[in-house]
Chain A
Amino acid sequence: MKLRVKFLASLYELTGVLKTEVEVPDGLTIRELIDVLARKYAKLREELLDEGGNLKPMYNILVNGRAVEWLNGLDTRLKNGDEVVFIPPAAGG
């Protein structure tokens, strides 16, 4: 299946890519997608996940415009055509 992936703000700096499309096996989870992406973007996994494999508090992931915490977290299963956005929060005012 094909997924659209975006790395926004400082994650663009990390990957050097703003938007990309990836071809991955059907039924992949977000966690597995991060592993796939980490093969190409070496520092991505350690940037996003803590030692326990949890999403670090300062990052957010949206699937089709919905935060994964309201879906099934990193175990959210993806489907063909999904848009996955990795985004750090800007916090300041």
Chain B
Amino acid sequence: MKVLDRYSRQIPVIGEEGQRRIRETSVAVFGVGGLGSLVARYVVGGGFRRVVLVDFDAVSVSDLHRQILYTTEDVGRPKAEAAAKALRAVNPEVEVVPVDEPISPDLAEGVLKEVDIAVDALDNWAARHVVNAAAVRRGRVLVHGAVQEWYGHVTTVVPRATPCLEDLFGRFKSLPTCTAGFCPVLGPAVGVVSSLMALEVFNAALGKPALAGRLLVVDLKHMAFDVLEVARNPSCPVCGV
């Protein structure tokens, strides 16, 4: 198969220069659950250079209604490994690196040292804030998304230029994790939010993240989309001046 065949529907949209930029960009997806599955699927399909998948969880049967990389046969397998196998089959031209380890400041920094763009597709605020702090320290663009019930939001953190997650969601650090049964959700709502995140990864790789400094909030029960302009807090302990 020729390279141009694989990307022939995409290149007319972003141009050959755009495709070249994507091919030179590496991405770390933190959390390969509902959001991370589809983000990774589109990023790998789109031909990014290298995609690192960070997840310490195993596939469970309750994941399958929304986590599109996995099948019933994967139940019990580590998500990072199962996702990497599925994604390599989608596009063997992309280097897919599974990291089956829990999120820690050292892990997040180590992963981000080697990539250009970070994706926060995690399922708990404590870990999201660890990745946020590492992204700010490393100066990496962070595409953040979250989803629950019929609702979700997406924003892009450009360190030192836009609000970081501490600015916007610092008060949520101690909320319960989703693994404690905190986050009921509809599968298609996850699909919408993760698609928006994947688009923003493309935008960021092409140099124009559309949600930098903006918080997109989606209400899929009423099909209401709202964009909020958000502002930095100069005394933010994570990204403040």
Residues of A within 8 A of B (CB): 6, 8-10, 12-13, 18-19, 57-58, 60, 62, 64-67, 69-70, 85, 87-93
Contact = CB atoms under 8 A, between A and B. Distances in A.
A60 B171 contact: yes
Interface SS of B by simple majority: mixed
Interface of B: 31, 33-36, 121-125, 145-153, 163, 167-172, 174-175, 178, 182-183, 185, 190, 193, 215, 217, 219, 221-222, 224, 226, 228-231, 233, 235-236
Contacts of B233: 66-67, 70
Q: Please give me the 8 A-B residue pairs with the lowest Cβ-Cβ distance, nearest first.
A: A92-B183, A9-B151, A93-B123, A65-B230, A90-B148, A70-B233, A90-B146, A65-B231
Residue among A66, A87, A91, A92 with most chain B CB within 10 A: A92
Contact of B224 (A18, A57, A58, A89): A18
B180 to A, nearest CB: 11
Given A57-B174, A91-B125, A93-B178, A66 B35 contact: no
Contact of B149 (A10, A18, A64, A67): A10
15 contacts: A57-B171, A57-B172, A62-B168, A64-B231, A66-B230, A67-B169, A67-B171, A90-B146, A90-B153, A91-B178, A92-B178, A92-B182, A93-B36, A93-B123, A93-B146
Contacts of A70: 167, 170, 233, 235-236
Contact of A92 (B34, B163, B228): B34
A60 B122 contact: no
B31 A93 contact: yes
Nearest to A87: B217
A91 B146 contact: yes
Contact of B148 (A19, A62, A85, A92): A92
Contacts of A12: 219, 222, 224
Nearest to B214: A65
A10 B222 CA distance: 10
Contacts of A8: 151, 217, 219, 226
Nearest to A89: B172
Residue among A57, A64, A65, A66 with most chain B CB within 10 A: A65
B166 to A, nearest CB: 9
Nearest to B168: A67
Contacts of A85: 228
A87 B228 CA distance: 11
